[in-house]
Amino acid sequence: MNKNLYNSYAIIIQARLNSTRLKNKILKKIHKNLTILDFLIIRLLKVFKSNKIIFALAKNPNNSKIINILDKYKIKYFEGSENNVLKRYFDCAKIFRVRNIIRVTSDCPLIDPYLVKKMYKNFQKNKTEYLANTLPEKNKKYPDGSDIEIFTFVALKKMYKLKLNKHDREHVTNKFWDSGKFKKKIFFSKIDFSKYRYSIDYQSDVTVVRFIIAKLIKLNQFGFVKEIVNIIEKNKNIKKIMSQNMIQQKLRRKNIF
């Protein structure tokens, strides 16, 4: 493997099978025979080459189910700690010599690769250490499900050396935006879409995303944020499910913190 392919930047996607709320969620069928994982990769490949995408997998004897999908698209992967996701990211980026890391999670199949590209250009231009579009949550303008974070390996290494609790090691980037030790920036949308959500944590989220994808295909739309929001707004039942899950997710996060 020529690891220099990844030198400038790479999209590193965290994924695991043992999700506490919805086990094996990334392997659930989301459109015809496509899993959530397939759909996410296909969207990213519309803009990025396969050698710019790496999966950071939690070690699991059943990872072959994920690896078979990754091999189909010629995507490289790394297997590391399940709960210490910070170490998993650090080790993955170190092994593949990634200077700038674009963090995406596998439960956001409707991620916009064009937005990823736009944010990376902004990141390079502003020479910041950390850029995000949905964190911190109280300031975000983008929907949950469009989550993109970009940071340097140097900054990741600096955070890795900090004394962190179990929660911070599991959630990787917390200290980028609440420690005051890093040069950070929020990437804002001109329109406030923060009340919308299309990430996948519950079975009912799968229903929402399946509906969105079916509508996008019927309308021959790619699935930019505004297009997805318009679909949600036009269906009362889908909007209701989304709103209920958003409340549930906020309560869960409040209890965690």
Rounded to whole angstroms, the Cα distance separating 212 from 223 reads 9
The tens digit of pLDDT for each residue in 137-191 reads 899 999 999 999 999 999 999 999 998 999 899 989 989 988 889 999 999 999 9
Q: Compute the average pLDDT of residues 4-22.
A: 84
- DSSP, collapsed to helix, strand or coil, labels residue 11 as strand
pLDDT, mean of residues 209-218: 98
- CATH 3.90.550.10 is the classification of domain 3-186: yes
In angstroms, the Cα distances linking 26 to 2, 18, 158 are 28, 10, 31
pTM: 0.94
Let me know: does 143 contact 193? Beta carbons within 8 Å.
Answer: yes
Check pLDDT > 70 for residue 199: yes
Residue spans of the domains in the chain: they are 3-186, 203-256
